[in-house]
C-alpha cells in the first residue's frame, strides 16, 4: 500500500520512523537530492501526525491540501500506515510476542489505495475479534479518542459495552485512571499500554509490559495491540478536520455487529 508515489512514500516512512524513534517501514527508493516542495510539506505533516496529530492546525492542513490536491485522503492513509505499523511491531516486541519479520524481499503495490484496505478490511477484521471483553475494548477506545482529541469518537458509546456494565461514571474515570476506584486493575494495565503505544512506542516500560502479561492472555494481548491501531485510525479524520461528532450534544449509542461493522442507533 502506498501514496502512489515511491519518492513520497520514502519521505513519509523515513520521517515517521525518525519521529517515533523506531525502525521505519521498508523504502523502495533513495531520495538523494533535495526534497521538492511537495515532499517537504508532506514530511512536516507526517512528522506532526506521528508526534501529536492534535498539533496539526488549519494553516498546516491547508498547505498540505494545496500540495497533494485530491490525493489528500490517500496520502494521509499512507502516513497512518507508516506511523502505526512500527508501533504495533514495537508493542508486540515489548510483550515478547511474534511480529512480522523485516524481510529483505518486499513486494511493492502502488495501485492499492491504503484507505480502502484500512477502513474496509483492517478495521472490521479487528472489530470482529472477541477475546477482550466489551467494556475493556470500549475503555481502550475512549483513551485513544482522548489522546487524539477525536470529537466523533468521544461522542460515541458502544452498545455491548454499555449493556455489560459500561457507564458514564466509569468512562469519566479514564482521564485520571490511576486514581480510579471504578476501573479494574486489568483496565489500568490496558490503559498504561495504550499510553505507551501512543506516546513512547520506542521505550515501552518493562512494568507496562509486565502488567499486560499479568492481566491478559497472549490472544487478548494481540487483540489489545491491534485495537490501539484500529482506534487510532481516528488520526486520519483528526488530521483532515473531518472528525465532527454526529450529535450536537451528549453521546450516541452504536453497535459493532458480528461482521465488525459500525451500526448507529438511527440505522437499527
The C-alpha atoms of residue 97 and residue 118 are separated, in whole angstroms, by: 23
User: What's this model's pTM, rounded to 2 decimal places?
Assistant: 0.94
Calculate the CA 202 to chain-centre distance: 16
pLDDT at 103: 55
pLDDT digits (tens, 9 = 90+) for 29-61: 776 667 899 999 999 999 999 999 999 999 999
Question: Alpha-carbon dihedral of residues 226, 230, 231, 233, nearest 10 degrees?
Answer: 140
Cα-atom radius of gyration of the chain, to the nearest Å? 19
Question: Can you list the domains of the chain with their CATH numbers?
Answer: 6-85 (no CATH), 114-267 (1.20.1290.10)
pLDDT digits (tens, 9 = 90+) for 119-142: 999 999 999 999 999 999 999 999
Amino acid at each position: 500500500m502506498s501514496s502512489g508515489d515511491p519518492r513520497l512514500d520514502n519521505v513519509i516512512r523515513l520521517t515517521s520512523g525518525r519521529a517515533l524513534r523506531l525502525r521505519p517501514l521498508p523504502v523502495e527508493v533513495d531520495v538523494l537530492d533535495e526534497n521538492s516542495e511537495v515532499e517537504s510539506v508532506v514530511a512536516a505533516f507526517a512528522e506532526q501526525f506521528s508526534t501529536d496529530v492534535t498539533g496539526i492546525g488549519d494553516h498546516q492542513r491547508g498547505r498540505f491540501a494545496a500540495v497533494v490536491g485530491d490525493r489528500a485522503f490517500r496520502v494521509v492513509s499512507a502516513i497512518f500506515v507508516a506511523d502505526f505499523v512500527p508501533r504495533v511491531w514495537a508493542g508486540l516486541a515489548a510483550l515478547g510476542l511474534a511480529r512480522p519479520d523485516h524481510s529483505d524481499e518486499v513486494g511493492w503495490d502502488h495501485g492499492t489505495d491504503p484507505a480502502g484496505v484500512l477502513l474496509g478490511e483492517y478495521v472490521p477484521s479487528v472489530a470482529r475479534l472477541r477475546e477482550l471483553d466489551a467494556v475493556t475494548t470500549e475503555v481502550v477506545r475512549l483513551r485513544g479518542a482522548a489522546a487524539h482529541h477525536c470529537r466523533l469518537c468521544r461522542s460515541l458509546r458502544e452498545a455491548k459495552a454499555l449493556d455489560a456494565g459500561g457507564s458514564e461514571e466509569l468512562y469519566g474515570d479514564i482521564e485520571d485512571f490511576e486514581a480510579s476506584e471504578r476501573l479494574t486493575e486489568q483496565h489500568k494495565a490496558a490503559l498504561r499500554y495504550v499510553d505507551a503505544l501512543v506516546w513512547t512506542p520506542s521505550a515501552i516500560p518493562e512494568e507496562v509490559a509486565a502488567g499486560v502479561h499479568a492481566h491478559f492472555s497472549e490472544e487478548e494481548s494481540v487483540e489489545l495491540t491491534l485495537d490501539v491501531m484500529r482506534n487510532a485510525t481516528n488520526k486520519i479524520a483528526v488530521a483532515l478536520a473531518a472528525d465532527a461528532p454526529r450529535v450536537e450534544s451528549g453521546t450516541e449509542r452504536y453497535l459493532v455487529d458480528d461482521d465488525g461493522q459500525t451500526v448507529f442507533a438511527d440505522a437499527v
